[in-house]
Structure 1
Amino acid sequence: MSTLGETIKKKLVDELQATHVQVTDLSSGCGQNIEVTIVSSQFEGKRLLQRHTLVNKVLKDEIAEIHAFSQKPLTPAEWAKRQPSA
């Protein structure tokens, strides 16, 4: 993972108490197109726009440096539903 990816992950874990963060560089390694999946209980009871606002506030400086940023903010229950059954 790139330095930017590590910074993004650390900030989301520290500030949103994320239990899972997956940072994917969709730009072939140049770091200009980032996709992030975030699982946090802080998203409970919040609409999608409110979740995005939380993430954008935490990553304000990082988002300003890249060309494209997409996020999938999920609650732990939503994340569990997306996991394959064992």
Structure 2
Amino acid sequence: MLQEVINTKVHQQLAPQHLDVINESYMHNVAPGSESHFKVIVVSDQFDGLRLIARHRIINQILADELANHIHALAIHTYTPAEWSELQTAPDSPLCMGGSNLT
């Protein structure tokens, strides 16, 4: 299962204090059971002092194979522990606005 692969890879590389890997494929015009659209929420000390683009590059590098071969869309939300302690949540993903209906 792709969701488990993402979870394992991010855990191994970043040892996050908090990690949510959410399959949001159901929100899009894809076949039932698809694993093509994901949202990751990662809280890690390794993001301290890094700009958002650098944080996202880390996630993109960790998931390079999955992005190249399996994932159509990936929403990335990265936080330091201090940032997360203030927020405790990430923004909701927007609803799908396009694509063909496969049902």
The two structures have a TM-score, normalised by structure 1, of 0.88
Give the gaps of 5 or more residues in structure 1.
none
**Identical aligned pairs, as a percentage?**
40
Give the gaps of 5 or more residues in structure 2.
27-32, 90-103
Moved over 6 A (4+): none
1:16-35 Cα offsets, whole Å, 9 max, x none, are 11121101111114111111
Structure exhibiting the larger radius of gyration computed from Cα positions: 2
Any residues of structure 2 matched to 1:4-15 within 5 Å, and which? 4-15=2-13
Q: Which has the higher helix share?
A: 1
CA shift at 1:6, angstroms? Answer: 1.0
1:20-76 Cα offsets, whole Å, 9 max, x none, are 110111111411111110011000000000000111111101122111111001111
CA shift at 1:83, angstroms? Answer: 2.6
The two structures have a TM-score, normalised by structure 2, of 0.74
Number of residues of Structure 1 aligned to a counterpart in Structure 2? 82
